[in-house]
């Protein structure tokens, strides 16, 4: 199995693409943001809340550990992802715009939104939190460009069964974000198909 090289520049480029995409979502009307494709699926705001919950776990860990890492003595040359971690990351990575494996969300990551309370203010709050958290992720990637990242492993959000070096954690989070961007595209496509004859 080929080893994937993780670089901070690649992470930053993909994160910027996601941030731009979510920025564009703010132009959608409330019905688009709050209408799920069917009764069992999430709407767009719920997808964003899920992403916010998922990042919350890592935000704490990054704040706790990154400042303590020693500075990198030379230029960041990238990080080779390990096999088990690659398997976990690949379970999230969409392939050619398709989510490969659909999976049940763990209870602690479910977005518990009251659909009757979804108004403009709530939508604004969700977007604001999304940008705060995911700009924090970008700052973490930028900080780690100049840090020695091979000295620290952190447990993933599902526990110590998966331990990540920081670049592996960034790759996991970005693949997870990309996976849910695909889900948002699917929601929007289904809304379009309901409107178009």
Listed in sequence order, the residues at least 6 apart from 136 whose beta carbon sits closer than 8 Å to its beta carbon are: 55, 59, 62
Nearer residue to another protein within complex by CB, 82 or 145? 145
Q: In whole angstroms, how close is the CB of 7 to another protein at the nearest point?
A: 5
| Dist CA 72 CA 165 (whole Å) | 15
Nearer residue to another protein within complex by CB, 16 or 150? 16
Binding site for another protein (CB under 8 A): 5-7, 9-10, 12-17, 19-20, 75-76, 78, 142, 145-146
Token pair 């198909």 is found at 193
Q: In whole angstroms, how close is the CB of 4 to another protein at the nearest point?
A: 9
| Dist CA 97 CA 32 (whole Å) | 21
Q: In whole angstroms, how close is the CB of 12 to another protein at the nearest point?
A: 5
Closest CA to 75 of 177, 163, 148, 178: 148
Nearer residue to another protein within complex by CB, 12 or 66? 12
| Dist CA 120 CA 123 (whole Å) | 5
Give, as one character, the DSSP assignment of residue 4: P
Q: In whole angstroms, how close is the CB of 75 to another protein at the nearest point?
A: 6
Nearer residue to another protein within complex by CB, 75 or 114? 75
């Amino acid at each position: 199995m080929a080893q994937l090289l993780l670089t901070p520049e690649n992470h930053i480029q993909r994160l910027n693409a996601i941030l731009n995409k979510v920025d564009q979502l703010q132009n959608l009307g409330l019905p688009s943001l709050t209408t799920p494709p069917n009764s069992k699926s999430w709407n767009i705001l719920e997808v964003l809340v899920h992403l916010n919950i998922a990042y919350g776990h890592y935000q704490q860990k990054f704040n706790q550990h990154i400042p303590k890492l020693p500075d990198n003595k030379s230029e960041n040359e990238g990080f080779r992802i390990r096999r088990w971690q690659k398997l976990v990351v690949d379970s999230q990575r969409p392939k050619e715009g398709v989510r490969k494996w659909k999976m049940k969300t763990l209870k602690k990551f479910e977005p518990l939104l009251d659909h009757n309370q979804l108004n403009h203010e709530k939508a604004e709050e969700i977007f604001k939190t999304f940008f705060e958290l995911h700009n924090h992720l970008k700052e973490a990637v930028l900080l780690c460009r100049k840090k020695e990242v091979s000295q620290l492993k952190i447990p993933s959000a599902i526990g110590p069964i998966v331990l990540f070096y920081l670049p592996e954690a960034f790759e996991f989070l970005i693949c997870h974000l990309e996976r849910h961007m695909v889900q948002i595209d699917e929601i929007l496509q289904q809304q379009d198909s309901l409107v178009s004859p």
